[in-house]
């Protein structure tokens, strides 16, 4: 009898950890730097909803918005260390990972409009860039859209000469660094969470970003003039730690892939409207002046920024430039 009881107790004890493990949901920590009320913020929450639904609760997604957990650079380190499992950084921030080629997407006036951007990223260049990440232990799952950059300061930016001598915050890309430099301004890389204060205190004079980010971070409250220039595009790559991703049970991974596919469709379908609404809200606030370029003014910006293309070759390499050029049916030199 005693032996029998011992066996039961022992079996229960040994079984307990296995049973507990089987019942414990897999946790995905998804960290990002923007507000919930933006295309990326909403996309992350949509992924959470669908991932938990499609896996029947076997996966729990914890979304940490607004740099709550990590700032720009730290979150990439955290992903490599496995402290978080999922991020969606702007592709302008991938050089510290050792993949500078993503910066080709930051070339000024590269994408004519939203549709051109979307079509281009469905082609081979998007996959080619993701292959570059694999060597770094990172798997790219999807591209999320956030529209085009505006640019601002406490003075109107209408002519290229207006940029002369001004300090601009940039998010990380050397291509952006270059197009500000050729205009005679002084670019400075800074974490997204620090931009509002830097603008408010005058550490920098201006910045560039999309309407949804200007609105939710209140940049428009500390910038007197915003030019709705749409001179460069902001896109995200949703990325995971490859070891984590490949170690998932195949059925769960397939459900998560489906959740990501659906969340991506959702995010990319709302991005334009979110930014239009944000721009309307900024306009309505009356706290800043919006400027729109005439065709001739835009042309002058394009000509002034053009040397960035030649410079880019040394930074990102010819291969990615050729891929992008082919996708867009343009000549790059
Ligand atoms: C920025 O740093 O300006 C952007 O990349 C923030 C974001 O994620 O939209």
The tens digit of pLDDT for each residue in 133-167 reads 999 999 999 999 999 999 999 999 999 999 999 99
33 lines ligand 1 (CB under 6 A): yes
- 90 — pLDDT class (breaks 50, 70, 90): very high
90 lines ligand 1 (CB under 6 A): yes
Per-residue pLDDT tens digits for 159-181: 999 999 999 999 999 999 999 99
pLDDT cut 70: percent of the chain above it: 93
CB of 213 closer than 6 angstroms to any ligand 1 atom: yes
Whether the predicted pLDDT of 9 surpasses 60: no
Q: Is the CB of 170 under 6 A from ligand 1?
A: no
Q: What tokens were used for 110?
A: 């590269």
Alpha carbon distance 296, 77 (integer Å): 44
Per-residue pLDDT, averaged over 232-247, amounts to 97
Q: Tell whether the model's pLDDT for residue 257 goes beyond 90.
A: yes
Distance 170 CA to ligand 1 centre (A): 9
Atom of ligand 1 nearest to the CA of 207: 3
Indicate whether this model's pTM tops 0.85: yes
Average pLDDT over residues 59-83: 95
122 neighbors 161 (Cβ within 8 angstroms): no
Q: Is 168 in the pocket of ligand 1 (CB under 6 A)?
A: no
What does the pLDDT read at residue 167? Answer: 98
Q: How many residues does the chain have?
A: 333
What ligand 1 atom has the least distance to the C-alpha of 208?
3
pLDDT at residue 13 greater than cutoff 50: no
CA dist 103 and 101 (Å) reads 5
Ligand 1 atom, smallest distance to 169 CA? 3
CA of 196 to the centre of ligand 1 (A): 12
Query: What pLDDT does residue 136 have?
Result: 93
The pLDDT, as a whole number, for residue 21 is 55
Q: Which atom of ligand 1 is nearest to the CA of 38?
A: 9
Q: What is the pLDDT of residues 276-323, one digit of tens each?
A: 999 999 999 999 999 999 999 999 999 999 999 999 999 999 999 999
Which residue has the CA at smallest separation from atom 5 of ligand 1?
A: 90
Rounded to the nearest whole angstrom, what is the distance from the C-alpha of residue 33 to the centroid of ligand 1? 7
Confidence at residue 331, expressed as pLDDT on a 0 to 100 scale:
86
Is the CB–ligand 1 distance for residue 227 below 6 Å? no
pLDDT in tens, 97-118: 999 999 999 999 999 999 999 9
Tokens of 184: 């005679």
Cα 123 to ligand 1 centroid, rounded to whole Å: 24
Ligand 1 touching residue 232 (CB < 6 A): no
Cα separation values, 239 from 32, 75, 89, 150, 165, Å = 11, 11, 8, 26, 37
Of 6-10, 37-41, 105-109, the range with the lowest mean pLDDT is: 6-10
Give Cα separations from 101 to 58, 93, 112, 197, 271 (angstroms): 36, 11, 20, 31, 24
Q: Identify the pLDDT of residue 23.
A: 77
Q: What is the pLDDT of residue 22?
A: 61
């Amino acid at each position: 009898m005693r032996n029998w009881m011992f066996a039961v107790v022992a079996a229960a004890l040994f079984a307990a950890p296995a049973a507990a493990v089987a019942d414990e949901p897999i946790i995905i920590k998804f960290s990002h730097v923007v507000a919930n009320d933006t295309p990326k913020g909403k996309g992350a929450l949509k992924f959470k909803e669908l991932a938990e639904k499609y896996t029947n609760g076997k996966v729990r997604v914890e979304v940490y918005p607004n740099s709550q957990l990590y700032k720009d650079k730290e979150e990439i380190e955290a992903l490599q260390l496995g402290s978080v499992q999922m991020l969606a950084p702007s592709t302008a921030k991938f050089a510290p990972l050792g993949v500078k080629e993503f910066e080709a997407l930051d070339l000024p006036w590269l994408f004519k409009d939203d549709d051109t951007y979307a079509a281009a990223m469905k082609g081979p260049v998007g996959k080619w860039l993701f292959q570059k990440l694999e060597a770094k232990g990172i798997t790219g799952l999807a591209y999320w859209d956030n529209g085009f950059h505006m640019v601002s300061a406490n003075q109107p930016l209408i002519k290229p000469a207006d940029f002369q001598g001004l300090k601009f915050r940039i998010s990380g890309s050397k291509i952006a660094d270059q197009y500000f430099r050729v205009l005679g301004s002084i670019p400075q890389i800074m974490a997204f969470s620090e931009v509002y204060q830097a603008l408010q205190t005058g550490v920098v004079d201006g910045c560039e970003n999309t309407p949804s980010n200007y609105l939710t971070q209140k940049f428009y409250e500390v910038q007197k003039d915003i030019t709705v220039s749409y001179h460069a595009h902001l896109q995200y790559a949703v990325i995971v730690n490859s070891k984590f991703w490949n170690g998932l049970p195949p059925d769960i991974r397939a459900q998560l892939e489906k959740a990501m596919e659906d969340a991506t469709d959702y995010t990319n379908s709302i991005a334009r409207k979110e930014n239009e609404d944000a721009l309307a809200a900024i306009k309505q606030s009356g706290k800043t002046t919006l400027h729109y370029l005439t065709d001739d003014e835009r042309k002058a910006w394009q000509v002034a920024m053009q040397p960035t293309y030649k410079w880019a070759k040394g930074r990102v390499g010819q291969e990615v430039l050729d891929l992008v050029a082919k996708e867009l049916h343009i000549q790059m030199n």
